[in-house]
Amino acid sequence: MSTDVINLIFGMKLRQARLEANLSLTEFAARAELSPSYVTEMEKGRKYPKPDKIVKMAHVLGKAYDELVSIKLNPALAYLENMLSSPLLRHFPFEEFELDPNELVGLFTKAPDKASALLHAIWEIARQYDMKDEHFFRAALRSYQEIHENYFPEIEEEAEAFAAKYHLNLFPVGIEQLKQILQQQFGYRVDETTLADHELLSHYRAVYIDTPRKTLLINPNLYELQRKFILARELGYAALGLNERSVTSTPDQVLSFRQVSNDFKASYFGGALLMPRQPMIADISTLFNQTSWSAEPLLAMLNHYDVTPEMLLYRFSEVIPAAFGISLHFLRFHNVDGSYKLIKRINMNRLLLPSGIGLHEHYCRRWLASRLLINLSEQTGPQQQPLVDVQISQFLESQDRFLDIGFARPLVLTPTVGSSVVVGFRFTPELSKVIKFVDDPAIHRTVIHETCQRCPIDDCAVRKSVPTVLWGEQLRDRRNAAIAEIRRTLLP
């Protein structure tokens, strides 16, 4: 058990004992011959007193010395103790949200029995849905991105300075130029053959080997533009000095929030290097200033920057809110044998978007991300370009509307898996002033819902399940109405 946790437990027990003795903080400090500020620091777990002070405090509180210094809590507080000892508390980025973990513990210790019961309930829910520390770290990162509208000017500036230093001002940026910088300036060895020879590793896009000469293994089966992004992201790790990081392209293990955060920063840097902010703003303006929808400006951007649809639309999520003053959401789905899985989500629109954990239900197939996957699965033969489409969606119940723009294509390393990616813009009074084609009558319009199991639309042609959740809610409402009717008959 770490020193920090021992301090927190001591502080919690000290505060409990003081409250049980019905002593105010000032009264207790005076009797123990301590300053009130020092007592406050102890109770918050920031200070641990010397033995002679503990002896004095134990006497004032009517407790044995051993009882006060023991790190064991009573059984009712077991889950509070688990929380204090958990890696999640140690690695959670409280400072990013301007929170003090000691203050949080202070809230729990005001009613420790109830706090422990609450944590027990949360613990059970997390176990039921197989939620791990990494889910909390990733949720914290998403919240942090959404708070900042997914725009981080300090990384933009670092990428701009890097591009100027190494003359990366022609588009598309050349893959050999990036490789040369990584090798000559940062001492890397780049290996583009080894991964394909290892059956257990061939599904990774890249693997980083931390040896005296850092080695980056890149899967040779990737498109050149994907290998180029991997190099640009690796330059982000090196240029920003990000050492706590994932070693595989899809992390097998997440140990801390800093790891998740550093992976995000490196990817952000890579995207900004390949798609600089000012040229992107100009190209997005060209897209938005169309009075009728056309996919040509989008496809032109893919070719101009030599990037994938995922890279392009994710870069949209970084540039558009700050530059154009409109919020958006970003969704990425995979279609694995007809099962749609949410892979990535950023929700700056505050809309009821699909969630990736817990619900074993079918996402609404009327969403553009779903419709694109359906269309992709019906395609035959090799695809020269990704599918691209636009849609205006309206929630059945809230009536909220948003404009979606999206792509779909098969994955390179697993061609049987379809991937769709969309950005969505919520309808506000400002939207039509920014996106001129939003009123184009040719754009497909549809009513959507959350999942099939909750949807009351009877004539849906793409429904994958009967509305079992909705039926359960309706049955509950009828039962409640029947009980209310009986109650009315029994009233005098």
Which strand (E) or helix (H) includes residue 59?
Answer: helix 51-61
Calpha distance 437→435 (Å, rounded): 6
Residue 356 has pLDDT above 60, yes or no: no
Calpha distance 149→348 (Å, rounded): 7
Calpha distance 389→420 (Å, rounded): 11
Residue 442 has pLDDT above 80, yes or no: yes
Instruction: Report, as an integer, the average pLDDT of 332-354.
Output: 86
**Buried b or exposed e, range 441-473, using 16+ CB within 10 angstroms:** eebeeebbbbbbbbbeeeebeebbeebebbeee
Residue 357 has pLDDT above 50, yes or no: no
Return the half-sphere exposure (C-beta side, CA atoms, 13 A cut-off) of residue 326. 23
Q: What is the three-class DSSP state of 13?
A: helix
The pTM of the full predicted model, rounded to 2 decimals, is 0.80
Asked if residues 270 and 235 have their Cβ atoms less than 8 Å apart, the reply is yes
Residues in the chain: 492
For the purposes of burial, counting CB atoms within 10 Å of the CB of 34, is it exposed (0-12), middle (13-18) or buried (19 or more)? middle
The full DSSP string for 177-215 is HHHHHHHHTT--EEESSGGGG-TTTTT-SEEEE-SSS-E
75: confidence class by pLDDT, cuts 50, 70, 90: low
Strand 189-191 versus strand 215-218 pairing type: parallel
Instruction: Report, as an integer, the average pLDDT of 134-163.
Output: 89
- Chain centre distance of CA 418: 22
Asked if residues 218 and 191 have their Cβ atoms less than 8 Å apart, the reply is yes
Which two three-digit tokens encode residue 426? 């919520």
Degrees, nearest 5: CA angle 479-395-425? 150
Residue 290 has pLDDT above 50, yes or no: yes
Asked if residues 478 and 384 have their Cβ atoms less than 8 Å apart, the reply is no
239: confidence class by pLDDT, cuts 50, 70, 90: very high
Calpha distance 414→203 (Å, rounded): 8
Instruction: Report, as an integer, the average pLDDT of 467-472.
Output: 90
pLDDT digits (tens, 9 = 90+) for 220-231: 999 999 999 999
Q: What is the three-class DSSP state of 421?
A: strand
Which two three-digit tokens encode residue 337? 């044998």
Instruction: Report, as an integer, the average pLDDT of 251-276.
Output: 90
Return the half-sphere exposure (C-beta side, CA atoms, 13 A cut-off) of residue 75. 0
Range with the lowest mean pLDDT among 19-28, 114-123, 405-414?
Answer: 114-123
Calpha distance 143→462 (Å, rounded): 32
Phi, psi torsion values for 363, nearest 5 degrees:
-60, 145
Which two three-digit tokens encode residue 305? 């920057």
Instruction: Report, as an integer, the average pLDDT of 411-438.
Output: 93
Please report, rounded to a whole number, the percentage of residues in the chain having pLDDT higher than 90: 57
110: confidence class by pLDDT, cuts 50, 70, 90: low
Give the per-residue pLDDT at 127: 64
Give the per-residue pLDDT at 441: 95
Instruction: Report, as an integer, the average pLDDT of 83-98.
Output: 62
For the purposes of burial, counting CB atoms within 10 Å of the CB of 296, is it exposed (0-12), middle (13-18) or buried (19 or more)? exposed
10: confidence class by pLDDT, cuts 50, 70, 90: confident
Give the per-residue pLDDT at 203: 87
Phi, psi torsion values for 377, nearest 5 degrees:
-65, -20
Residue 46 has pLDDT above 80, yes or no: yes
Give the per-residue pLDDT at 1: 54
Which two three-digit tokens encode residue 331? 């969704």
Calpha distance 207→190 (Å, rounded): 10
pLDDT digits (tens, 9 = 90+) for 181-209: 999 999 999 999 999 888 888 889 999 99
Give the per-residue pLDDT at 96: 63
Contacts of 440 (CB under 8 A, 6+ apart): 291, 292, 293
Instruction: Report, as an integer, the average pLDDT of 271-299.
Output: 96
**Average of per-residue pLDDT values in the chain:** 87
Asked if residues 188 and 216 have their Cβ atoms less than 8 Å apart, the reply is yes
